[in-house]
Chain A
Amino acid sequence: MYNIEFIEEECIADVNSCKNSQDINAIRVKYLGKNGKLTTVLKSLKDIPPSERPEAGRYINDARIRIENKINTVESIIAMSEKEKRILEEQLDVTLSKKSNRQGGLNPISIIINDLIDIFLSLGFGVEDGPEIEFEYFNFSALNIPSDHPSRDSSDTFYISKNRLLRTQTSAVQVHVMKLQEPPIRIICPGKVYRPDDDATHSPMFHQIEGLLIDRNISLYDLKEILEAFAKAFFSPKTKIRFRPSYFPFTEPSVEVDLSCPKCGGNGCKLCKNTGWLELLGAGIVHPLVLEECNIDIRYSGLAFGIGVERAAMVKFGIHDMRLLFDNDIRILRQFR
């Protein structure tokens, strides 16, 4: 049995001197493999007399278990340390970045329109579209705008022909909708509109969202309720609105709607010129002549409002020059994602 003890000692010495998982695999093969030293001894059992075999067998097997345990223990220690080493090597500088396919972004005008649509959908309004090249009738006459009204002048309206023009207001869509749908009607129509102005606060093409509600017993109170809900959702829950008398030919009474300044909360600052209020939109009760022109049943009345999208974007994002919204420089667009 000297042989066994010698093999075991040699193996332990080998194991103790091994450095990596390859070494330990080699040791396993050397002693426990098909032709390994211990395997060979085990095979030689058949040469011993049968009476001695059980004891010798037990003796060799015990040694095999000890060797196996030793190898397994060292193997797991080596594996552990090798994993630690690999992890250390694989460590990344997580502050480095790789330029990848970054997301693009929507235009600020689309963002504002989407926000407004979401708000008005939640208030039960549907969304309508209409033509941008309009007949004079839909843009003016049907909206009770007299034939000698200044807004019809060529200095205020782009004409295609005597009776066709680029719509100057999304209110034109009101007429189409009222002529096609039965009340109650509850819609908004976002879209492009055109007027011949071009400076820091005017663009010859800009966007409006028209709102129209036709139902029984509509009053200024409904208007206040809806616009207050909109202002609180779009700006902040603390936002207040106020009505001032104004004039639009297609609404009567007409109001200018002011918003408590979102920057100073109404205390007065540069943005609101120390008034605490910002002009936001125009609105009113739909003029009875407009309802009549659109064949709306006399039992119904309505309210309408028109929101300037660029104006809302400028207030919300703190933009001073409207032309920036049409600049299309990606350094500007990137900010709005």
Chain B
Amino acid sequence: MLVPLKWLKDYVNFDNSPKELAEALISCGFEVENIIDLSEKIKNVVTCKILNIYKHPNADKLKICKVRIDNNEEIQVITAATNIKVGNVVPVALDGAVLPNSKVINAGEIRGVLSEGMFCSGAELGLTEADYEGASADGILILNKTTSIGTDVNKIFGFDDIVLDIAVTANRIDANSIYGIAREVAAVNGKGLKIIVHEYEDLYADESINVSKYIKIENRAPELCPRYMAAVVKDIVITKSPKFIRNRLRAVGIRSINNIVDITNYVLYDMGQPMHAFDLDKIKGRKIIVRRAKDGEKILALDDKEYTLSSNQLTIANSEEPMAIAGVMGGKNYSITDDTKTIVFESANFKRDSIRATSKALGLYSDSSARFGKGIDSFSQRIGIKKALDLINKYKWGTVIDNISDNYPDPEDEYFDIEYRYDDINDILGTDIAHVKIKTTLNKLGITTALKDKPPDICVSSVPDFRPDIVGVNDLAEEVIRFLGYDEVVSNYRAPVRNYKASSLTNKQKAINTLKKELVKNNAYEILTYSFTTPKSFNLLELPIDHEFRNVVKLLNPLGEDFSIMRTSLVHEMMKSISLNHQRNNKDFRLFEIAKTYTPITLEYTAERYKLIVGSINDDFYAIKAIVEDIYDLFNVEVSFEAHKIPFFHPGRSAQIKEKSTGHIIGFIGEISESVGANYNINKKVHLAEIAVYPIIKDCGKEFMFKSVSKYPSIERDLAIIVDSNINASQIISTVKMSGGKYLISCDIFDVYTSEQIGDNKKSIAFNLVFQSNEKTLTDAEINISIDDIILSLSKIGGKLR
């Protein structure tokens, strides 16, 4: 919100410097993002009167001008301009002057003659015709004859002002106007608010001439338009706005059009009420109908573009067609032109969500839609339309028809009462503010506050209708503290005794930390990727059309296709991260991520499951498998790895991981296939494993019973057998464990070996066996029995002792 200080002074007197004012506003919750000095662009350029013009002795095209810049001071300026005459008042840039294009002007000799300044054209001063009549003409800008001499030109052009750029929080819809900010400034300073006196205050009462003779208003959509006020002005004079209006609009970034259009924009900033003006003579049927558009209905808007409307969009129509997209933009065919004779001013309240949705759907934004989009209170329509009529009247731009039409089916109360105890406010704030101080602070804000019943100290605050954000005592507490300052919240407050309790992470939360530490220990870096992904990932991973990963939750309004679905697996982002690091020449790395995946279960329910993915480049299958096995081992989860074809993995180098206790598949591991690797621009081996986190952590923190360790020695034996190469390690181990007897406590394969000697399709497997008893020292004889049993069972799957 841009607030020119001269404009602000229309409604509040203050002595604060701009910086002090900004600080005061910041302290009460209005962030001042910038203090803009409009005069900063032009420095040291003043008005002067040309007294004499001489020919330059050394140049045909140059002239020497004697000019007066002060009652007592004359200087000499050399110019090539041809449009100047003795007696003209013109702008002159003096020694050291700065122009809007940042050019610095210095005094100096031109062809041997001293020039103490430079005359300026309108363009050199950054002016257009709207800023000053004649500014667009070639040559030096000739100012009005009556312009006083020696004046800073910023004053002439209205740049002698400071503008505060204020960020208004979403709840303070009342403060999106000069008048609204004035109320805050007055409250901060505790004084200075000027009462607005409207000339048209009494019009409500006068029924003698009725506006309905000119126009009938019908509101068919009060759910989108809670209030619609309209006034008719006849004998309209279309002209240029006075300089102060043009300057003020320029200061807030609005182009001046003509007096009527300017009034609507002026009131928007002045009172926070967007207005619109229709040419009454063009309104078919002399009827304004506030209604929803018909689906497919078209309107040519002021921006010369045609828009197609739908039934959730509000229009201001006549008996035949829409004349405006309500609150967003007027229709070209009903706009004010130089021939307009009679106008209707609209001052309405439209629902903010409807306006925002319409703007977004049509891609059409305006100052009006921006203002409505934030929401306005129902107080502003009243003061807005009156302000507009005041301006018409003051400048005699037309005759206001008595009676403002006011369609307000469900009027809100002007005041809203809140009952509470003063100490409720201290309790919320943790302060010890005197009751009288609370009372005076609220009163300064226009919230009339008084004690109602002495004991039990109940008081009442009446909140005016322009503060719909205040509904309870918490809101009042905030009003008090933002004006008294948060330093009031100090440690002398008697803090009550609290029920502090010891706190720690849950076992599952601790388990996730342990999991991450284990991965870090294994040389992996934790990556962080987006939860949304692209449907293209399915093809990059070569997933068949019915693959479970393709069953996804879709976003209705994604930031583009690449972020349009919620991921069901972390593989794609892992591949992207590996690829990125590979492209950047980072070598031999491991990455991991723990994040949610999202699987739709029903229309209303999506399962959010944490998954862990670990990936590596230039590693081998068993290295990644070891990490995964270590994790399961660490958390006492028994799993088996079963060879299984997975679309994006090498068909002979991938496995699914099965949880033994439940039989559930809880993860997969493998080597990325060559073609999928190529899809991600990786020509090196990539291995990855994705496992569900829940099975790992679900039993964490379960109570366990300590088991004593055997005090008798263990005995080790090594065996090597030759088996068919299609017999896998897990088969051999399970065979050994089944047949090894009660003293066998472990069986670990330590070597797998193939050679010509052993034969085709055969392999040698060597493993280490450990036997131990809790009751006694085992004898060789006892162990030999077990070994014989093991060899016998292995022979049943084709195993021969080597």
Hey, which bits of chain A sit against chain B, CB under 8 A?
101-107, 109-110, 114, 117, 121-122, 124-127, 131-133, 147-150, 152-155, 158-161, 164, 166, 184, 186, 192, 194, 196, 198, 204-205, 215-217, 219-222, 224-225, 242-247, 249, 252-255, 285, 287-289, 301, 325-331, 333-334, 337
B477 at the interface (CB under 8 A from A): yes
Given contacts A224-B489, A244-B27, A287-B474, contact A164 B604 (CB under 8 A): yes
CA distance A113 to B604 in the complex (A): 30
Chain B residues whose C-beta falls within 8 Å of the C-beta of A288 in the assembled complex? 472, 474
Decide: B500 and A221 in contact? CB cutoff 8 A: no
Q: In the bound complex, what is the Cα–Cα distance between A242 and B28 (angstroms)?
A: 13
Residues of chain B within 8 A of A105, CB atoms compared: 520, 525-526
Evaluate contact between B500 and A106: CB separation under 8 angstroms.
no
For the complex of A and B, the 10 pairs showing the least CB-CB separation, nearest first, are: A221-B430, A219-B430, A245-B29, A253-B478, A247-B169, A148-B353, A243-B486, A245-B482, A252-B474, A107-B526
The chain B residue with its CB closest to the CB of A251 is B474
* Residue among A149, A154, A219 making CB contact with B429, cutoff 8 Å: A219
Stretch of B45-53, B548-556, B635-643, B753-761 on the interface side? B548-556
From B427, B489, B559, contact of A217 by CB (8 A)? B427
A333 touches B525 (CB 8 A): yes
B233-267 at interface with A (beta carbon < 8 Å): none
Closest Cβ of chain B to A231, distance in Å, is 15
- Chain A residue with Cβ nearest B604: A164
Using CB atoms, name the residue of chain A closest to B495. A221
B523 touches A104 (CB 8 A): yes
A-facing mask of B484-499, CB < 8 A → 1, else 0? 0010011101011011
Say yes or no: A285 contacts B29, CB within 8 Å: no
Chain A residues within 8 Å of B596, by CB: 132, 192
Question: Which A residues are in CB contact (< 8 Å) with B586?
Answer: 329-331
A107 with B528, Cβ < 8 A, contacts A125-B503, A222-B430, A328-B581 known:
yes
Residues of B within 8 A of A255 (CB): 486
Task: Report whether B498 and A215 are in contact in the complex, using a CB–CB cutoff of 8 Å.
Answer: yes
Find the residue from B27, B428, B431 having the highest chain A CB count within 10 A.
B428
15 contacts between A and B (CB under 8 A): A105-B520, A107-B526, A133-B566, A133-B606, A148-B353, A148-B375, A161-B603, A194-B531, A205-B531, A222-B430, A242-B486, A244-B27, A244-B486, A245-B29, A253-B478
Note all chain B residues with C-beta closer than 8 A to A124. 500-503
Q: Is B371 an interface residue (CB 8 A)?
A: no
B376 CB → nearest A CB, Å: 12
A103 lies within 8 A of B486 (CB):
no
A159 CA to B557 CA in the complex, in Å?
Answer: 6
Taking the closest CB of chain B, its distance from the CB of A145, in whole angstroms, is 10
Partner of B527, one of A107, A192, A225: A107
B520-A252 in contact (CB<8A): no
Given contacts A216-B496, A219-B427, A253-B429, contact A161 B526 (CB under 8 A): no
Residues of A within 8 A of B581 (CB): 328-330
Per-residue interface assignment for chain B, residues 430 to 442, with 1 indicating a CB less than 8 Å from any chain A CB and 0 otherwise: 1100000000000
B27 to chain A, nearest CB (A): 7
Known: A107-B528, A254-B478, A328-B529. 18 other contacts (CB 8 A): A101-B522, A101-B523, A104-B519, A104-B521, A107-B527, A110-B516, A121-B504, A124-B501, A133-B598, A147-B353, A155-B360, A159-B557, A219-B493, A221-B431, A245-B478, A247-B171, A252-B475, A330-B589
Contact B486 A127 (CB under 8 A): no
In the bound assembly, the distance between CA atoms of A161 and B566 in angstroms comes to 13
Given A121-B503, A225-B495, decide whether A159 and B555 contact each other with a Cβ distance below 8 A.
yes
- A131 lies within 8 A of B496 (CB): no
Q: Are B524 and A104 in contact (CB under 8 A)?
A: yes
- In the complex, A69 Cα to B421 Cα: how many Å? 106
Q: Tell which of B526, B556, B591 touches A159, judged by Cβ atoms closer than 8 Å.
A: B556
Is B81 an interface residue, CB under 8 A from the partner? no
For residue B429, which residues in chain A have a CB less than 8 angstroms away from its CB?
219-221, 253
Q: Is A150 a contact of B373 with CB atoms below 8 Å? A: yes
Check: B702 CB closer than 8 A to any chain A CB. Answer: no
Return chain A residues, CB-CB under 8 Å to B528.
Answer: 107, 109-110, 325-326, 328
Cβ of A302 to closest chain B Cβ, rounded Å: 11
With beta carbons under 8 angstroms apart, the residue of B171, B491, B516, B529 that contacts A106 is: B516
B506 an interface residue at 8 Å Cβ cutoff? Answer: yes
- B706 contacts A by Cβ under 8 Å: no
Find out whether the CB atom of A252 lies under 8 angstroms from the CB atom of B478: yes
Q: Map CB proximity to A onto B591-624 as digits: 1 under 8 Å, 0 otherwise.
A: 1100010100001101010000000000000000
Q: A254 vs B504: C-alpha distance in the bound complex, in angstroms?
A: 29
- Residues of the A chain whose Cβ atoms lie less than 8 Å from the Cβ of B474: 252-253, 285, 287-288
Considering the chains assembled together, what is the distance between the CA atoms of A301 and B477 in angstroms? 14
Report the minimal beta-carbon distance from A211 to chain B, rounded to whole angstroms: 13
Question: Considering the chains assembled together, what is the distance between the CA atoms of A328 and B580 in angstroms?
Answer: 8
* Interface contact B520-A106, CB-CB below 8 Å: yes
Docked CA distance A287–B495 (Å): 21
B360 and A154 contacting across the interface, CB-CB below 8 Å: yes
Q: Which of B27, B489, B524 has the most CB of A within 10 A?
A: B489
With both chains docked as a complex, state the minimum distance between the C-beta of B643 and any C-beta of chain A, in angstroms: 28
Residues of B near A242 (CB, < 8 A) are 486
Hey, which chain B residues are within 8 Å of A254, CB to CB? 478
Bound Cα distance A123, B337 (Å)? 68
CA distance A244 to B603 in the complex (A): 43
Q: How far is the CB of A235 from chain B (nearest CB, A)?
A: 20
Given contacts A133-B606, A288-B474, contact A204 B29 (CB under 8 A): no
Closest A residue by C-beta to B522: A104
Bound form: Cα–Cα A296–B188 in Å = 36
Q: Give the residues in chain B near A152, CB-CB below 8 Å.
A: 353
Residue ID in chain A nearest B596 by CB atoms: A132
| Cα–Cα distance between A333 and B374 once the two chains are bound (Å) | 42
B525 touches A217 (CB 8 A): no
The answer to whether B794 has its CB under 8 Å from any CB of chain A is: no
| CB-defined contacts of A329 to chain B, threshold 8 Å | 580-581, 584, 586
B residues in contact with A161, CB < 8 Å: 556, 603
Minimum CB distance partner of A103 in chain B: B520
| Chain A proximity mask over B419-430: 1 for CB below 8 Å, otherwise 0 | 000000001111
Residues of chain A with a CB closer than 8 A to B554's CB: 160
- With A153-B360, A242-B486, A329-B580 known as contacts, the answer to whether A103 contacts B28 (CB < 8 A) is no
Cβ contact within 8 Å between A104 and B525: yes
Q: Smallest Cβ distance from B481 to chain A, in angstroms?
A: 6
Q: Does B351 contact A (CB under 8 A)?
A: yes
A102, A117, A246, A333: the one within 8 Å of B505 (CB):
A117
Give Cα A117 to B505, complex, Å: 9
Instruction: Give the shortest distance, in Å, between B701 (CB) and chain A (any CB).
Output: 15
Least CB distance from B92 to A in Å reads 36
Q: What chain B residues lie within 8 Å of A224 (beta carbons)?
A: 430, 486, 489
CA distance in complex: A253, B474 (Å): 6
Instruction: Check A184–B499 contact: CB distance below 8 A.
Output: yes
Contacts of B606 in A (CB 8 A): 133, 160
B558 within 8 A of A: yes
Residues in B with CB closer than 8 Å to A109 are: 528
The answer to whether A301 touches B428 (Cβ under 8 A) is yes
A65: shortest Cβ distance to chain B, in Å? 45
Q: Which residues of B contact A107 (CB under 8 A)?
A: 525-528
> Contacts of A154 on B, CB cut-off 8 Å?
360, 556-557
A205 touches B530 (CB 8 A): yes
Q: How far is the CA of A109 from the CA of B505 in the complex (A)?
A: 18
Docked Cα-Cα span, A153 to B359, in Å, equals 12
0/1 string, B552-585, CB within 8 A of A gives 1: 0111111100010010000000000100110010
Which residues of chain B are within 8 angstroms of A106 by Cβ–Cβ distance? 516, 520, 526
- Whether B360 contacts A127 by the Cβ 8 Å rule is no
